[in-house]
Structure 1
């Protein structure tokens, strides 16, 4: 009887994990649409607005995607774009964690 009560209590307090997707996933085709020399307007027209902009350096745009199932990360993608003072794209940095 004690085991069934303690097992029931344990099941009630076991964390539940959900399928979580945050941000917008960018395919290779979409990423290949952007190239050095494009303006901020050109980039946002091609792949949309960034997920966030750098707080200390507003000329860095971040496109972030995160997919988790249960407690396992399925895919994590970060695309960081750096613009110069004239709003021209000078650096593209892509990181994908699978």
Structure 2
């Protein structure tokens, strides 16, 4: 009778903790969506660059709204296998001549971006 209780308790404990252990053993791929934004490429951006120069550094933007063609959105979404998802964005603004005039988002500009303003 005693061994039946031990086996039953072991079985219950194994089923309760089994799901969390098995979940970590199952391989999950990393999910990358959107633009791959490299901080070193962002640091090379300079005030006054043309749209073509920016596209050469960062690649094509994820979104350019129809009514606002001078605002480019670069969005990077990364979901590592068993970790929390991360989303970063970079929003670039151009003037009517197609030159870079502003930047905001989750990436910091390099020192050369501000030197060009002065």
TM-score under structure 2 normalisation?
0.58
> Contact conserved, 1:25 with 1:77, CA < 8 A, in 2?
no
Give the aligned partner of residue 37 of structure 2: 26
Which structure has the bigger radius of gyration?
Answer: 2
Give the aligned partner of residue 77 of structure 2: 66
Quote the offset at 1:18 in angstroms: 6.2
Quote the offset at 1:52 in angstroms: 1.4
Quote the offset at 1:33 in angstroms: 1.4
> Contact conserved, 2:35 with 2:61, CA < 8 A, in 1?
no
Give the aligned partner of residue 88 of structure 1: 99
**Alignment gaps of 5+ in structure 1:** 1-16
Quote the offset at 1:55 in angstroms: 2.8
Quote the offset at 1:51 in angstroms: 1.2
Number of corresponding residues: 81
Q: Does 1:49 align with 2:60?
A: yes
Quote the offset at 1:94 in angstroms: 2.1
After TM superposition, the runs of 4+ consecutive aligned structure 1 residues lying more than 3 A away are none
- Structure with greater strand percent: 1
TM-score under structure 1 normalisation?
0.69
Give the secondary-structure state (helix, strand or coil) at the position aligned to 1:76: strand
CA distance in 2, matches of 1:67, 1:42: 26
CA distance in 2, matches of 1:94, 1:54: 17
- Structure with greater helix percent: 2
